[in-house]
Amino acid sequence: MASYNPPVIIAPSILSADFSELGNEVDSVLRAGADWIHFDAMDNHFVPNLTIGPGVLKCLRKRTTAPIDAHLMVEPTDAIATLFAQAGADYVTVHAEATRHLDRTLSVIRQSGAKSGLAFNPATPLDTLKYVIDKVDMVLIMSVNPGFGGQSFIPSSLRKIAAVRDFLENHYYATGHEVLLQVDGGINPQNVDRV
């Protein structure tokens, strides 16, 4: 089996984009070298902010073939996750804290045609991961508290990132199933090497 060496993927969030120029902003970050587009969807229930929905993602999908990762900070999750998958998201990521039936939610995402992502807030333990890893294609570690852009990186996230990377590496060697690791929030030129 090949060694565990998942790719480094740059996926800027469109949360800070000028929404009146969203298509042009997406084109710009892709021309600058971004690999994916990170699409933050918030419902003002799970987090105290309200953003955009699957209709906007569907329009972006018509404009780009780049992978789109829909990060859902919403509850309930199942019906909304399905809408984002149908709109063209390549990955649909839900928070472990946002659903009571995580195993089912991850299955619903995959059945809808997208790959499944599982997000953990900074203070949320990782125990759940071992029970659903066979249904997860990507793990997202929040390095800020979700809900707003422009926050500072939480340094204790580095320990969590290292723990997840070790877990995913062991899982890969045991099963051959490569799961991506994503880190979201407060990443900048000063801390990207540590991340």
Which one is catalytic: 27, 35, 40, 137?
40
Query: How many residues does the structure list for the chain?
Result: 195
Q: Is the dihedral of CA 133, 92, 98, 182 positive or negative?
A: positive
Answer whether 77's CB lies under 8 Å from 99's CB.
yes
Tally of CA atoms within 13 A in the half-sphere of 119 that contains its CB: 27
Q: Is 103 a catalytic residue?
A: no
Q: Is 40 a catalytic residue?
A: yes
Q: In 3-state terms, what secondary structure has residue 64? A: coil
The whole-angstrom separation of Cα 185 and Cα 163 is: 18
Which one is catalytic: 35, 166, 184, 193?
184
DSSP codes joined into one string, 96-130: GGG-S-HHHHHHHHHHTTSEEEEEE-TT--STTHH
DSSP H stretches of helix in 19-139: 22-31, 54-63, 78-87, 102-111, 129-132
Which residues have a catalytic role annotated?
40, 184
